[in-house]
Amino acid sequence: MSGTLDGLSLDGRLLGDFGYRLDGWALWRGKADMDWQLAGGDLTGQGRAVMGLFGGALDIEGALEGELVGLPLRLPLLGRFTADIDDLRFVPGEGCRAASGTLWSDALSRSQSLLGWVGPELDGRLLCRDKIVHLPLSGQDAQIRIEALMRIFPDQHWQVDMVVEMRDQAPDEALAGLLPMLGFRADGRRYLFQQASPGAPLVPLSLGRKDG
């Protein structure tokens, strides 16, 4: 059993056409077990997903790649991101049970036309902590060290936290002047940014607390 959902979108953003092939025998066992692929929009990818027909966990594995432009963030970013998902088990209303995989983005190295500044590439590992999906990214160059974290909570709202820490005693003046205009708050040699999904409260988080 196979089919396609054309023009799949989220918050007005075209994700692509979602194609699927269901395992018919799994339906008799009360599960939707499918191979999936996404193409023709802002995201491309393929993998496998399993979910109980009457509730329970959603298990996903696969790979996704997409453009950052158009994401619902206040930061003007270009570039791409990739997520190679080895395992993601999420129960709606209860949160994640397991998560593993690798993450990467060249957003800071490809956004010079918008930011007037080139930063390092970022990478990280997908994980599950306290029933919350964590998507951390980090990187550094001669000027800065940056940490970014997107969290997806059990009720499916999300939050993004970023910390840019100047590595030199004399920070780049252009960058130090740019970050507050992008919504970062100065904290000594660190600059902090937070954004939550519409209507959700900000959850405190400490990032970038390092000596040196």
Tens-binned pLDDT, residue by residue, of the chain (212 aa): 788 988 887 666 777 899 989 887 777 877 888 899 999 888 899 999 998 877 778 899 999 998 887 677 777 777 899 999 999 999 888 999 999 999 999 988 876 666 667 788 999 999 999 999 999 999 998 888 999 999 999 988 899 999 998 877 655 677 778 888 888 898 888 899 999 988 888 888 766 554 43
Residue keyed to tokens 């453009």: 67
Distance CA 16, CA 96 (A): 25
Q: What is the pTM of this model?
A: 0.83
Cβ neighbourhood burial of 144 (10 Å; 0-12, 13-18, 19+): buried
What confidence tens digit (pLDDT) does each residue in 91-142 have?
888 999 999 999 999 988 876 666 667 788 999 999 999 999 999 999 998 8
3-state secondary structure of 52: strand
- pLDDT for res 41: 80
Residues listed for the chain: 212
